[in-house]
Amino acid sequence: MKVLVVGSGGREHTLIWKLKQSKKVDNIFCAPGNGGISKIAKCVNIKADNIRALADFAARNKIHLTVVGPEAPLAAGIADEFTKRKLKVFAPDKSASQLESSKVFSKEFMRKYHIPTAAFKVFTTAAEAIGFCRTVEYPVVIKADGLAAGKGAVVVKNAEQATATIENMMVKKQFGSAGDTILVESFLQGQEISVMALTDGKTIVPLLASQDHKQAFDGDRGPNTGGMGAYCPTGFATDEIMTRINDYVLAPTLSGLNKEGITYKGVLYAGLMITPGGPKVLEYNCRFGDPETQVVLPLLRTDLYELMMAVVNRKLASIGQLSWRNDSAACVVMASKGYPGNYTTGVKIGGLPNKDDNNCVVFHAGTVYKNSQYMTSGGRVLGVVGLDKNLQLALNRAYRTVNKIKFEGARYRKDIGFRVLNLKRK
């Protein structure tokens, strides 16, 4: 079978790495791909948001399944275009993707279907939002309505920070049109986890829960990034918590979508805060998370291609229980100097392992391969994943490899997994 993966980051490298393990997959293409992906798949020079060209390529090359990684093509309706042409695509359609592409849509959806989330208020002018923020208790969270590459949610601690954030989003257009409308939300206390689930619109199957590290620096300090590391599974997602997530979040989300006339096929990602009052939804994503994918999929034993085809063909219930490796996975992201702000590219990368180890894999996120040399091409450059029988050992494996990889200005968090490790030490 031929598979096309759309995207160019660490998530897509991981998806391809996992799909290649399927005996049913013969050839994998990636559009546009990256340096690391070019070693395990055929990279195609088509941008991820060029929907018509991607559909033309899939039709011309008789692609059996297209898997969409990033959010932009989902919001633009890539699944609708592929479905119209009778091409199989693992991705929710444009209407379903509003759960991610519009924070206002998702919050109002949660309110309508009684899905636990933080209290919120919507604003379309900066003056109204600033005025409201003079009346609230802090901290609060300010979110851009549209897509902002994982950086559109800002926790503010006082009215001065709130005013600056609102002006950045709504007046200075930090995130373009994504900030035309914003939300101000109550701040939720607790542990944040990510739960990705597969659904064919009838059945929903959660994958293992993971925990991302959004802030740029150790100790959860600094600006939000797309994610500086993750680990899986997380001890915060007990069996009881996972049951509550299924009963009060996943199942009612699927039911609500069906009531809205939306058939959701693909990955439904719930970013959750485990509060003293139970799990509450921070946000939905409509695709595999990054870097959560890098720690969840290496632990999956079930054939990913078969799972995806079951979703597309609406036969997910026939798969049965998923099989998992009884280990932990930890990902440490190596980023360019300055990320998530301005950063340089074109920096040579040295010290990469010559071959993957079953217990340590390097997934490329922002690299190119030129003249027999890997070079940086993005903010997040590499995701180094260690696997072992517990989290500490998995982290040890990842950091040993990180310490061997060198590029000028490279930086990474040295405290991935600290929240759960600190809890265990108490």
Task: Say which CATH number the domain at 357 has.
Answer: 3.90.600.10
Q: Which residues contact 279 (CB under 8 A, 6 or more apart)?
A: 116, 241, 244, 245, 248, 249, 272, 273
Number of domains in the chain: 4
On the question of a cis peptide bond just before residue 73, with omega within 30 degrees of 0, the verdict is no
Are 219 and 250 part of one and the same domain?
yes
- Would 282 be classed as within a structural domain? yes
- Would 234 be classed as within a structural domain? yes
The per-residue pLDDT for 19 is: 98
- Would 43 be classed as within a structural domain? yes
- Residue found by looking up tokens 């040890």 in the block: 396
- Would 302 be classed as within a structural domain? yes
> What's the pTM?
0.95
The per-residue pLDDT for 378 is: 97
| Residue among 98, 206, 112, 85 at smallest CA distance from 145 | 98
* Among 283, 300, 319, residue at a domain's last position: 319
Distance (Å, rounded) from C-alpha 165 to C-alpha 170? 9
The per-residue pLDDT for 354 is: 83
Residue type, 220: D
Distance (Å, rounded) from C-alpha 156 to C-alpha 17? 39
Distance (Å, rounded) from C-alpha 91 to C-alpha 76? 12
Domain with residue 84: its CATH number is 3.40.50.20
The per-residue pLDDT for 149 is: 75
- Would 105 be classed as within a structural domain? no
Are 300 and 336 part of one and the same domain?
no
Are 376 and 363 part of one and the same domain?
yes
The per-residue pLDDT for 152 is: 87
Give average pLDDT by consecutive 10-residue segment, the chain, 426 residues.
98 98 98 98 98 98 98 97 98 97 96 97 96 96 89 91 96 94 96 98 98 96 93 95 98 98 98 96 96 98 98 96 97 97 96 87 97 96 98 97 97 95 69
- Would 83 be classed as within a structural domain? yes
Q: Is-contact 62 56, C-beta < 8 A? A: no
Distance (Å, rounded) from C-alpha 207 to C-alpha 28? 24
Give the structural domain span for 126.
119-186
Distance (Å, rounded) from C-alpha 73 to C-alpha 97? 10
Are 368 and 385 part of one and the same domain?
yes
